[in-house]
Each structure stands twice: as structure tokens, then as C-alpha cells.
Chains A and B, each alone.
Chain A
Amino acid sequence: DGGITQSPKYLFRKEGQNVTLSCEQNLNHDAMYWYRQDPGQGLRLIYYSQIVNDFQKGDIAEGYSVSREKKESFPLTVTSAQKNPTAFYLCASSMGPAGLAGGYLSSYHEQFFGPGTRLTVL
């Protein structure tokens, strides 16, 4: 079956610890994303990667780090610098990000989401 997997489903962290959330996709997608979801809020973009060995900060990147050494994997590390890490973390992928042509957004590829990881700081 093709899709996106995230592990673990639940993760508990002590204050001061770094933890790494796994995200794997076998959809052969170029682009991958990490979002954070808090109650009563929409998804907020943490980091994204358009292609292997490249990644960019999203809107709330402080306290997080990522790597993209393989096309199918995009792990997210929540560092001790993240002051409020308790949240639901969602990974997504798409065939590719849209480009910008002629001043208008060109074709966009649907984002497929994984099942999420719920991180709780003890």
C-alpha cells in the first residue's frame, strides 16, 4: 500500500530532551512537509522540503530541526529550545510544490497527510 507513515503514534518527552519524529512515504513524492496542530487552530507549517538535501523554514521553525537525506524520509527533531512542544504533529507529502509563472500560481499538487504523532512533554 502506498502512503505516509509516522512513528511513534504517541511520544512522551521530559523537559530538556530532544526527540525525533519519523515520517516515511512510499509515494515517490518530491515535496514533504511538517505541520503542528494545536486545539482550536489550523495547521501551522514548521518546515518543508521541495527536494532531497534541501529544506526551508516554515512559519514556526524555532526550536525544530529537520533533515532530508533520502527522498522517502523527512524526520523532525523537537529540540529543548522549543518552549511549548506539546502538540499533534502531522507530516505530509506532495508530488511537487507549485511554481510561480506569469505572476499567477501554477499547478498545485495535493498534499497527503500521515496519521500524526501526539507529543506530550512531562
Chain B
Amino acid sequence: GENVEQHPSTLSVQEGDSAVIKCTYSDSASNYFPWYKQELGKGPQLIIDIRSNVGEKKDQRIAVTLNKTAKHFSLHITETQPEDSAVYFCAAFMFSGGYNKLIFGAGTRLAVHP
């Protein structure tokens, strides 16, 4: 069935280093890929998204890349800061089971150490 795999499940970096989270998806028709950041006890917040007509998108220290041929997309965070510590979810928008829906990855817990 349709799914999104996300790696790694946990990631620990030193402040100032870069962090990369990778996701693969199963449905080649998917064309929208958002990334959400979830802080402890809160709902997810959209931080960046990408559509299939572009290969890369940047927003300050955050960037997302998309390889449609390989069906994978990645989140890159540069110059990490302690406030970047959170759980990050990737998602892919798919038509499945008769309706459109977001399929989420299992999440990556990022810890940025001062």
C-alpha cells in the first residue's frame, strides 16, 4: 500500500552542524511534500513544502530537495540551533482508498546540543 518511510528515527548533532532527514514515498503520482516540525506537547507546524515541479526549495536555514525519479525527498537544516530540537515529520500527498490524503512518515527526533 501507499507509505512514506523516514530516516533516521533519531538524530543528534552539535550546535552549528547540519542535519539531514530523508524520506521515500511509494506513489509516483504524489506531487506535494510538506515537512512539519512538532515541539513537545504541541501540534505539528508546517516549516517548508515542495511541489513536484521543482527540485529544491530554500527558506533561510532550511532547504528541501526532491528527486521524483527516485521517489525521495530530504530536509536539510544548516547551522543548527538548540531551538531546532523537535520531532520532524515528512509527508506526501496521495490519492488512496478513494480520497486524497497526506501520508506521514514516522518522524525524526532531532536533538541539537549546545
Contact B9 A40 (CB under 8 A): yes
Interface residues of B in 1-48 (CB under 8 A from A): 4, 6, 9, 29-32, 34, 36, 41-46
Interface residues of A in 75-89 (CB under 8 A from B): none
A43 to B4, CA, bound (A): 11
Asked whether any CB of chain A lies closer than 8 Å to the CB of B100, the reply is: yes
Q: Which of B4, B43, B46 has the most CB of A within 10 A?
A: B43
Contact B95 A108 (CB under 8 A): no
Q: Please name all residues of chain A whose beta carbon is closer than 8 Å to the beta carbon of B104 when the two chains form the complex.
A: 42-44
A116 to B107, CA, bound (A): 17
Q: Please name all residues of chain B whose beta carbon is closer than 8 Å to the beta carbon of A122 when the two chains form the complex.
A: none
Interface residues of B in 94-114 (CB under 8 A from A): 94-95, 97, 99-107
Query: For chain B, what secondary structure do more than half of its interface residues adopt (helix, strand, loop), or is it mixed?
Result: strand
Contact A110 B49 (CB under 8 A): yes
A114 to B42, CA, bound (A): 8
Q: How large is the interface on B (under 10, 10 to 19, 20 to 34, 35 or more residues)?
A: 20 to 34
Q: How far is the CB of A96 from chain B (nearest CB, A)?
A: 10
**Closest chain A residue to B89 by CB distance?**
A42
* Interface of A toward B, CB cutoff 8 Å: 4, 6, 40-45, 48, 56, 58-59, 90, 92, 97-100, 103-105, 108, 110-116, 118
Cross-chain pairs A/B with CB under 8 angstroms, 16 sampled: A41-B107, A42-B89, A43-B44, A44-B104, A48-B101, A97-B100, A100-B100, A105-B32, A105-B93, A105-B95, A108-B31, A108-B100, A111-B34, A111-B102, A113-B45, A116-B41
A43-B89, A113-B45, A116-B43 known; 14 other A-B pairs, CB under 8 Å?
A40-B9, A41-B107, A42-B4, A42-B107, A48-B101, A90-B44, A108-B31, A111-B46, A112-B46, A113-B36, A113-B43, A115-B43, A116-B41, A116-B42
